[in-house]
Amino acid sequence: MELSNVREEPIVPKIEIPYRKSDRFRFKKTPELLYAGQVVDERRFYAPPQIHDYCEILYIVEGPGEFRIGGTIYEVHPGDVAVYNAGVPHEERSISTEPFKVIYCGVGNVHIDGVPPGQLLPASVDPVIPCEKYAYKVESYLSEMLQECDSQVLGYETLSNNLLMSLITLLYRIVDVKHPFDPLRFSWSKTDTAWNGLPSRARCKPCSQAS
């Protein structure tokens, strides 16, 4: 009787996690990335009052600042995100001699399920959000969007918009800790209707245009 030289390998059980389509968060429209930009190492930064017909997301990388959003003054620090809904007046300035760095983007075509069209966040949520443990992800998404807009190589529009959707979804995950999503959806749908010489922030070229 011949003995087999074939060695039997141990069976390693696979670990599989099923993908269930039960998430409560949905985009009713695909948001559009209009532009990405940054403020780098400005020690005396100021952006005068302005209003847009689109939304903006700003992430504070370095230095403290003071933002007036919709008539309310907020102090911002590294790791915070400021969100401007369409039609909301805003004004920005740094408040120390430390370098001030911000990465930001403009967002159009916004409609999230349960939230009024044109709003990234409902009016019941503060527009300045501490990102805490998610800060590195928020900074990474915005930095990659900025790189894609600047390079405009093959597939940059797809990658940029996927990053934008990931960023918005992540912001809702952060907000959901203090404002559970389902109760907010109900309240949103019921209550929400519709100094001189200082440098202001500039934007990169729009992501929808080739160089």
- The pTM (predicted TM-score) of the whole model is 0.79
Q: Say if 104 falls within a structural domain.
A: yes
pLDDT in tens, 81-138: 999 999 999 999 999 888 899 999 999 999 998 889 999 998 889 999 999 999 999 9
Enclosing domain of residue 91: 32-179
Q: Is residue 163 part of a domain?
A: yes
Say how many domains are in the chain: 1
Question: CA angle, corner 101, sides to 135 and 170, nearest 5?
Answer: 25
Q: What is the pLDDT of residue 30?
A: 93
Q: Is 173 within the bounds of a domain?
A: yes
User: What digits encode the pLDDT tens for the residues 151-176?
Assistant: 889 999 999 999 999 999 999 999 98
Within-domain flag for 135? yes
| Residue 129 included in any domain | yes
Q: Is residue 192 part of a domain?
A: no
Lowest-confidence pick of 7-16, 108-117, 179-188: 179-188
Residue 85 falls inside a structural domain:
yes
Look at residue 84 and tell me if it is in a domain: yes
The domain that contains 161 carries what CATH number? 2.60.120.280
